[in-house]
Amino acid sequence: MANSDRATIAIAYVYRGTFIHSTEETAVEILADAVLGVDTKGKIAFMGKGKDLDELSQTFRFSSSKVTQLTQHEFFMPGMVDTHIHAPQYSYAGTALNVPLLQWLKTYAFPVESQFSDLEFAHRIYTKVVKRTLRNGTTTACYFATIHTDSSLLLGQIANDFGQRALVGKVCMDRNNCVKHYKETTEDSQEETRRFIAELLNKKYPLVKPVVTPRFALSCTGALLEELGAIAKNNNLHIQSHISENTKEVRLVKEMFPESKSYTDVYHKYNLLTDKTVMAHGCHLSDEELALFRKTGASLSHCPNSNISLCSGMLNVRNVLKHKVKLGLGTDVAGGYSASVLDAVRRAQDMSKILTLQNPEYDVLTFEEAFRLATLGGSQALSLDDQTGNFEVGKDFDALRVNVAAPGGPIDLIQYDGPKIQLEKFLNLGDDRNILEVFVAGRKVVPFTEPTAE
């Protein structure tokens, strides 16, 4: 599969060994004894076979000294994509999961988020969440920040400094009756959103972009939603929000927007459903709503840990895929207690098994399919699959070097079972100890090399 058109670009490094990724046709494709080259721009220059190494080295003009050989227990996989995570909520992750969604927002989320006007506090938390997610293999993250413009900009800076690919959103909310001091006026929300977008774009970070972020329909007036739709369209930006997370929320949205046919129709009416939109949850969407997602090109973020932890509902992944709606995985920290997409992979499989217990005819989600959702599916959900998501030539090299036999790691290998079993063991048992290196756009970002203030 060597691409000679790229032979004029200098090769930065070459790896030989096992590569595992997903394609449109195949949930798990294993490339054994493959050779992959990354150019000096961080893009995949070629992917070939080990037996063709000499020919590849001549075509792409690299010496054998650039070739790194993986061991028998190592493989490369694409970096994982977290399509929905609340960066400020990382400060209390693993706690506060004892109440339903709306009470949880009032009791925990909103009071904590209101503290992020303090830039020193924000810097401390945002540094930790970016480092933690990178260490756990999240090369791309779609972040909710808070209503505070300056600390939201700080999150973008920190993601850039550590080399993470990120969409960062300043939260917009001009309605909040449960924590009244944590909201904006409609005018301030619009103006600060414009300022956030302009200043973040002006930074010209290569991998960090703004995303228009109405928190959810319940926290925004129609006037604000309409303006945010216009801002996103005029700047060709991504959009993120929440939809149909729990049944009470769905009922309240219907009461608050009686002129709309459904929760999805609320967003559609205000031009917030586009092919660059990702909506979290969607547990209670109707087939008609899913058809509208498909028509507009909007995507869903499946957040199973959060949906289980807050008892919000269970997303029927099979039905979403049947409607050909783009779907990725989200950790939804801190409604989900883990910042690792590996946890989302496991919980997604668990949820499908619960649905099977309820209906024996339900088709269980396989680990191969969950792997695709965590990688290529996530990049598709964020409309970034032209840049990342698998090992296609020309895409950025976003990758994890995994060693299932890492010393002191959580996996005991009894025998060598081949790469597919190794992948399955990593997805079900592995953690950050198995992730030796993390690359984003060709840059090795883990292990961390920069001195950082904790």
Q: How many CB atoms lie within 10 A of CB 94?
A: 12
Of the three residues 328, 356, 382, the one that is the final residue of a domain is 382
Q: What is the pLDDT of residue 210?
A: 98
- Assess if residue 452 is contained within a domain: no
Of the three residues 382, 415, 436, the one that is the final residue of a domain is 382
Q: What is the pLDDT of residue 134?
A: 98
Q: What is the pLDDT of residue 261?
A: 97
Examine the domain organization and report whether 251 and 277 are in the same domain: yes
Examine the domain organization and report whether 85 and 199 are in the same domain: yes
User: How many angstroms separate the Cα of 419 from the Cα of each of 300, 322, 344, 423?
Assistant: 30, 29, 22, 6
User: How many angstroms separate the Cα of 448 from the Cα of each of 131, 137, 162, 379, 451?
Assistant: 9, 13, 8, 24, 8
Query: How many Å apart are CA 45 and CA 12, to the nearest integer?
Result: 10
Examine the domain organization and report whether 158 and 23 are in the same domain: no
Pick out the chain residues at pLDDT < 50. Answer: 1-4, 451-454
Copy the structure tokens of residue 140: 């791309």
| CA 6 remoteness from chain centre | 29
User: How many angstroms separate the Cα of 254 from the Cα of each of 214, 246, 301?
Assistant: 17, 13, 22
Q: Which CATH number fits the domain that encloses residue 243?
A: 3.20.20.140
Residue with tokens 């992944």: 317
Q: How many domains does the chain have?
A: 2
Q: Are 263 and 243 contacting, i.e. CB atoms less than 8 angstroms apart?
A: yes
Q: Report residue 115: phi and psi, to 5°.
A: -80, -10
Prediction pTM value: 0.97
Examine the domain organization and report whether 367 and 222 are in the same domain: yes
Q: What is the pLDDT of residue 9?
A: 82
- Assess if residue 2 is contained within a domain: no
Of the three residues 382, 412, 430, the one that is the final residue of a domain is 382
Q: Which CATH number fits the domain that encloses residue 29?
A: 2.30.40.10
Structural domain of residue 22, as residue ranges? 11-78+394-446
